[in-house]
Amino acid sequence: MGHRKGAGDDMNTLERGLAGRTAVVTGGAQGIGAAVVARLCAEGCRVLVLDKSAEHGRSAVKDWREHGHEVALAVGDVVDEDAVRAAFAGVPAGWPAPTLLVNLAAGFVFKGLDATPQDWQAALAPTIVGLSLVTREFVAALPPDAAGAAIVNMASISAHIAQSGYLTYNTGKSAVLGFTRCAAQELAPRGVRVNSVSPGTVWNANNERYHREALGLDRATAEAAPEHGGKFLLRRFADPEEIAAPIAFLLSAEAGFITGTDLPVDGGYLAV
């Protein structure tokens, strides 16, 4: 029985890496987002960072440019339709149209049933409304021949489990999983793949500050504690670069037959 030509044939003609592509990364100025931008730059991408922090965004972009990378900054909130439109309209002249999107911006609100309407708005607006607005604009701006277009959304191990006092956060991240599956179905006819990653605890600036100031723990002590690093099979936290690497994989043609799924990057947390 002969092979029937389909969208996969075009995918297989793509270069294995990401060189020459343009990516958009929301929340790319710090933490995991900055690690993703650095990884995509190392892969040879041009990257547009959409972040609401002008201070962190400008500092990060200046550093990447000094290292010879092509990075542009759009300052704005993902829940602001005008800001999102302006970001995509502001892709530098001479860059290819974006065909890669990484949605990292989210609301970090940790509340239980005592959450107010304002808490829920702060938790869900960036995580879901912003995610949808950015994705919609990205898809609208795709060129007709956008072979290999791909989206990766940021979920969390918290999307898969119950955690006391995390009702607002876990609900938002659970919604990311549903959004990813539905968007993958809707965009498959256009050849656009949509996936998500679910990280475990990542040792970034915010988590370091929390462990040091709230718990009085440095990284080594926190990782040795059964209730912290000990929750993971690998008995440690992740570095931001360890989340960026699988995101880059899911964006690449190497993952050309993967869509509508979530990849836990959790040191084995969800396995037990």
Q: Which residues are the active-site residues?
A: 169
67 vs 204: CA distance, rounded Å: 22
256 vs 253: CA distance, rounded Å: 5
Instruction: Give 149's contacts (C-beta < 8 A, 6+ positions apart).
Output: 99, 100, 142, 190, 191, 192, 193
Strand positions, DSSP E, the chain: 22-26, 46-51, 71-75, 100-103, 150-154, 193-199, 262-265
Q: How far is CA 2 from the centre of its chain?
A: 38
Of the candidates 240, 128, 115, 201, which has an alpha carbon nearest to the alpha carbon of residue 166? 115
Coil, strand or helix: which one is 6? coil
